[in-house]
Amino acid sequence: MRCSATSRSGSPASRKTASNTDQSLTRGAWRSRRSWLGLLVLVLLLVAADQATKAVAQAYLDRPLLQDPVVIPGVLSLSYHRNPGGPFSWLARYRWSWVLGPLSVAATAAVVWWLVSSQVRSRLEAVVCAVIVGGAVGNIIDRLWLGVVRDFLKLTCIRWPVFNLADTFICLGVGLLLLGLFRADSRAAHTPAPTSEERSAPPG
């Protein structure tokens, strides 16, 4: 006896249920103890790199110099600055820039909560969140320890505020995260909605 195509492949509702189950398993597949340990190591490495470069910049650049050391001619040089404001000297001239410290802590806590919750859908998103957290923690350490953030990277090809590695990590992570969310929304928008027949079909 020949089986029908529906019998061999299952009803549309059962196929949809199986697809949702596979997506749920995929979302939770990276949440192993080894993955969490890897994310923690990544955050610690980024914080260490940020603090180490700031310490070197402070030791060698926090003095009167005839000329800023050039790293890439016409593109990047080194110039040490103590920034009381936000990333890229944002709000540095305002007296109430002290609120940036608590705001930074709150924003970092929000990213960590989003990371440990079920909102993160893949290992790549988790890595991107870890990059953001690593950069944020690097600048928070400066604010708590010194009351300012140490900046030392200066773009000479465009007019841009002096920044540091932590700022780079934050901007890179946020950019990649927004790109991933945009692509996910775009794929969802192009996914055809289930027909009335599929919605009314019994499972199994």
Which residues belong to the active site? 151, 167
Helix (H, G, I), strand (E, B) or coil at 92: coil
Tokens of 116: 């440990």
Please tell me the distance from the alpha carbon of residue 3 to that of residue 99, in angstroms, as a whole number. 69
Residue whose structure tokens are 């936000």: 86
| Cα 134 from Cα 39, distance rounded (Å) | 10
Residue whose tokens read 């540095």: 92
- A 10 A CB-CB count for 145 gives 10
Nearest Cα neighbor of 103 from 85, 115, 118 is: 85
Structure tokens at 184: 């996910």
* Cross-strand pairs, 174: none
3-state secondary structure of 90: coil
Give the sign of the dihedral formed by CA 126, CA 129, CA 135, CA 137: negative
Paired sense of beta strands 149-155 and 70-72, if any: unpaired
